[in-house]
Structure 1
């Protein structure tokens, strides 16, 4: 009797354990097709433990993991700092989502700034915000933020929207290439056309170029200009070229041939002027044109921005400029890409503490240059820079984003020590003024957004650098995309090699890390 009872008890115990195991397994949210989100929660637990949260907005720290698990692509790789920084930048980006009576807003600083518009909004990094948020699954955050900027003043744009140079039309079109939401994009078209016209009225020159104060480019105290100097800078001219190209494409989508041709002509004019008037053949670099129509005679990181928008013509020798990212007398430094060439006698000559762009490393500029560099590697036939150069710069970018041994993103840093030049100032913490995860997705892993339904991936990770990596849960054209490299096939159990999956189904593969385009 006792033996029989023990046997039954044992069987019931086994069944209970089995049931609880199945229940636990079914309750566990995998999120991706290959990666399990729960395997990355420890990063967020660590980030939350780094601080006593003193400023909480729409999504406080205790809700950060739930938001990330719902909204972001997952990333896995063998280099710990890359993986940690990937999740940190999503965690810090989320801090800037602000719930307002007019919808979500995305801030640049967590602390209030006197020169901001309502809800502490600043337009300087709006393009960066759109590029980064295009990979967030819920579109409401960035869409409502853009609507607030353009229609939040009784149906009109906010007063300070044009306080800073803008590539918003371009950014919104590139967001469309990810989510294919034509309705939203074309609804914004009239607002963007109006914005372009206002820029022409306020900053257009007689020759067709645009001028800007360096401070209104968000780049105070530069070597080429000044806070009150009306120079024709590579920044605003590249932005306006890109905006014209985007507006021309949007007009084509609307079936408006007149506006399509109008904005295409605008873009062509700016392109020719940038190539002829801003290119300094003596320095082999795009440089600022002064008020006197002479070159500023100094290389600055803004000279790489034309490639952010694929502006320079191919096979005309412009790519030689990229030699400077490999030159220690140019822009290469121990903690990343400097904002002015290190050989200049005026390099780091403006002091510290007043937002100097005289050579210190700014993530705003680093992310622009790295986006441009990825375009050069993808869209230009050249032998000046390679994927090894790109990976090296991304590695420096990752290493620079630490302070006191912990992940950190601030305003700007010393190029040789890595010290953040605003130190521990509250205003500088979590500065939302650059991209990182867009670079990881479109540059390093290499998912290249495009208008058709083919999926193009061109990784800029050197062949023998990592034995495995995976980007999963990427919402792209309404599907979930997975991209993985598994040298042995034993890490993810999906077979050896480089593979692309759409909704869990393999659609392209190769034995090596190389460009893939699905049929």
Structure 2
């Protein structure tokens, strides 16, 4: 109990500095001069920080161990600086980076543990009949659905109070707890609601006891259901934190937490609301017996030139809803603008009331809905309420899939709300990774999409980047076009090059095409696979989808290389892209049937194309594969043809005239030979929009009106029980979801919609230079449209069209504002 693990010598320094020869210098250079045996066939040093730069040193005698070629290489921040055939002394020039790389406690949630083992370890005084649910309170996921469930609760506890604790495993300095409090009382689904009291305690090791944290301040003051509640306290260093929840015993309600986070520092979360004639502050929530009994309602008081607003609740659709009381007790109505967090302007009508200020009466308030994530998303106001409602729903759905992982990793986006067995590390599934990035690129907090791109760039395990076909480099570059962070996207270049090279094992040089099974193209039981012995896994071949995605990735890597001023890489990937483009057109386009087809790889020496059109044959346009010198547009004739893909809730994934078409399923997974899959519909919408904008010299086989028709159908498809909803796949002809299993398929993140609305319908087209093109595809009958709170390269952009000038009060016509200046 004394000499164990004695810290009285060096070893790691001997290995790094002496054996592996990493020799820091007084100037801006680094010498690498290994003393390793000549018999060594490999060695690697990575994750080494030298003067603000990430250093990697590798030697590989065969080139097979690390996949970067033979010899010795030195990389500085992912850029290859040295390449030698043998191990030898080299000098590497370094540009110092003046960056503080120290770990900052304020950026880390010390409670997060998606692994469900080790530390931090959650435990509780009582857990409902699912013992494993205590881990759901620290898994990084935040959503408030009754089903699918993701929460700890003390359902059926016999006590008046229970606690939820996190053991960090070692001392941490912490100063706030962030609680995402679950309530199904608000939604009318159960008896779990806000606790009447929440008390933070920390563990004192020396005294072996729990002590109340000092100076506890709750925000909001009274618990807000299905929302974030923060308890800040005087910083304390401890190994464990717990929160004691007192339940509402009188109503026999219980407590539930969908996520508990413990932070060292966190900025104030007090909401501030600004009105045109004053400031609304000091929120204080109250219950109202006359406001349906389930809503927190607000109070407005006269304070001279200012008014005070308090109160909101979360309704069943997952939106923040504010109930704003009438602020004018005079004889006439008055209309005021209300700016929420200085981001979104709402028009609120205050009507006179004989009772004066703050009278709690159901007849004296108006409802104002502010969408979930309102501080982060672009707002739209359009005449089509199906599209608008689904647009806001899909943002709330995306929030369900945002998952905090660990300190230093940040956020990712999941495909399913619960992990599945075939996912990679952290629950990553790359099949829809490109869709996720295209959606998340419009979030104002750009760290969310960058964290997610980093998850793939780090290649967490062998499956994270190379499991399903993907277009992640293409999506990442298009995210850069929105946020303009050149340094970030350039830092990903080496990783995307490596990921592209991983696909070499699926490349056929004689054809110049990539091959994959429909299953690993995320499309099981397709028309290509059901013709084989293995209807689920079979049908390995050359698909227009996968090859178009690889073309898009190659183009994106070439453009990233240009940003990095890496001429060799730019030339290499431009050549790869053009060769692949030519091969797709030569081998997968059928000039007689006017369509791109799957080509089976096995037992097909004549390279015969498939006998059936599949929806994937329309993917190439979104990646700009078709040559503009020839007219391939007749392929779009099939999109609305009832014998093609034109079904009521389509497009279908297989043409209806095919003998392999089957749209008869009512449940089960995963049939891609007929059903309507949002995954594919999103691709096709992007292809139609690209055709309309990029191939203007060709005879239009599809119009802007037809694009709108397709998007409207897509929106109508995304409903269930008259509410916006998305699952895995939908019947092509019936009004029901086919693949929609309980606690699994809900709010499935496998497609885009908000990007289709913003980028395609409303025509917000990011550019590689410092411009923005606006080119809407909206119907000519629309009399108005509005996009606001859109962040483009650090600028706030607002786009509005008002045919009469009466809706927005800015005059007739179309206007674009940048940072509140009409441009």
Superposition TM-score tier, normalisation by shorter sequence: 0.7 to 0.9
- Counterpart of 2:444 (choices 117, 137, 160) is 137
1:294 and 1:37 map into 2 onto residues whose CA distance is 64
1:469 and 1:30 map into 2 onto residues whose CA distance is 22
State whether residues 149 and 158 of structure 1, in contact with CA within 8 Å, keep that contact through their aligned partners in structure 2: no
1:175 and 1:118 map into 2 onto residues whose CA distance is 23
1:511 is aligned to none
3-state DSSP of counterpart to 1:75: strand
- Counterpart of 2:789 (choices 473, 482, 507) is 473
Q: How does 1:247-396 map onto structure 2 within 5 Å? A: 247-291=557-601, 292=604, 293-348=607-662, 353-381=668-696, 382-396=699-713
1:175-230 CA distance string (max 9 Å, x none)? 11111111110100000000111112344443210000101111111102352332
- Counterpart of 1:17 (choices 302, 306, 323) is 302
1:237 is aligned to 547
- Counterpart of 1:415 (choices 713, 726, 732) is 732
State whether residues 29 and 36 of structure 1, in contact with CA within 8 Å, keep that contact through their aligned partners in structure 2: no
1:326 and 1:152 map into 2 onto residues whose CA distance is 40
1:261 and 1:158 map into 2 onto residues whose CA distance is 28
3-state DSSP of counterpart to 1:271: helix
State whether residues 189 and 247 of structure 1, in contact with CA within 8 Å, keep that contact through their aligned partners in structure 2: yes
3-state DSSP of counterpart to 2:816: strand
Q: How does 1:93-112 map onto structure 2 within 5 Å? A: 93-101=398-406, 102-112=409-419
| Count of residues paired in the alignment | 466
1:436/1:397 CA distance change after superposition, 3 Å: same
1:414-459 CA distance string (max 9 Å, x none)? 1111210024522110100000000000111111111122221111
3-state DSSP of counterpart to 1:498: strand
Structure 1 residue 477 displacement after superposition: 1.6
1:288 and 1:474 map into 2 onto residues whose CA distance is 39
1:314 and 1:201 map into 2 onto residues whose CA distance is 31
3-state DSSP of counterpart to 2:540: coil
1:168 is aligned to 472
Q: Which has the higher strand share?
A: 2
Gaps of 5+ in 2: 1-300, 310-335, 350-365, 530-534
3-state DSSP of counterpart to 1:95: helix
3-state DSSP of counterpart to 1:480: strand
3-state DSSP of counterpart to 1:264: helix
Which of structures 1 and 2 has the larger relative contact order (alpha carbons within 8 angstroms, sep 6+)?
1
State whether residues 210 and 232 of structure 1, in contact with CA within 8 Å, keep that contact through their aligned partners in structure 2: yes
Q: How does 1:453-472 map onto structure 2 within 5 Å? A: 453-464=770-781, 466-472=782-788
2:212 is aligned to none
In the superposition, the TM-score normalised over structure 1's length comes to: 0.85
State whether residues 487 and 496 of structure 1, in contact with CA within 8 Å, keep that contact through their aligned partners in structure 2: yes
- Counterpart of 1:208 (choices 483, 508, 512) is 512
1:152 and 1:262 map into 2 onto residues whose CA distance is 22
- Counterpart of 2:521 (choices 211, 214, 217) is 217
State whether residues 223 and 298 of structure 1, in contact with CA within 8 Å, keep that contact through their aligned partners in structure 2: yes
1:368 and 1:274 map into 2 onto residues whose CA distance is 18
Name the stretch that deviates more: 288-297 or 89-98: 288-297
Alignment partner of 1:485 is 2:801: yes
State whether residues 453 and 476 of structure 2, in contact with CA within 8 Å, keep that contact through their aligned partners in structure 1: no
1:49 is aligned to none
1:55 is aligned to none
Q: How does 1:39-118 map onto structure 2 within 5 Å? A: 42=369, 44=371, 65=372, 68-101=373-406, 102-118=409-425
1:237-286 CA distance string (max 9 Å, x none)? 00111111111111112112111111111111111111111001121000
1:285-309 CA distance string (max 9 Å, x none)? 0011111121002111101111011
1:114 and 1:218 map into 2 onto residues whose CA distance is 16
Name the stretch that deviates more: 261-270 or 194-203: 194-203
1:144 and 1:204 map into 2 onto residues whose CA distance is 34
3-state DSSP of counterpart to 2:790: strand
Gaps of 5+ in 1: 1-15, 45-64, 508-519
3-state DSSP of counterpart to 1:70: coil
Name the stretch that deviates more: 340-349 or 362-371: 340-349
State whether residues 244 and 267 of structure 1, in contact with CA within 8 Å, keep that contact through their aligned partners in structure 2: yes
RMSD of equivalent CA atoms: 2.2
1:331-386 CA distance string (max 9 Å, x none)? 11111211111111211179552311101100000000001111111111232111
Alignment partner of 1:425 is 2:737: no
Structure 1 residue 471 displacement after superposition: 0.8
Q: How does 1:395-414 map onto structure 2 within 5 Å? A: 395-414=712-731
3-state DSSP of counterpart to 2:570: helix
1:62 is aligned to none
State whether residues 377 and 386 of structure 1, in contact with CA within 8 Å, keep that contact through their aligned partners in structure 2: yes
- Counterpart of 1:197 (choices 493, 498, 501) is 501
In the superposition, the TM-score normalised over structure 2's length comes to: 0.55
1:454-486 CA distance string (max 9 Å, x none)? 22111111211x211101111012111111111
1:34-69 CA distance string (max 9 Å, x none)? 66799996375xxxxxxxxxxxxxxxxxxxx3xx11
2:370 and 2:337 map into 1 onto residues whose CA distance is 23
- Counterpart of 2:819 (choices 503, 514, 518) is 503
2:370 and 2:733 map into 1 onto residues whose CA distance is 28
1:160/1:108 CA distance change after superposition, 3 Å: same
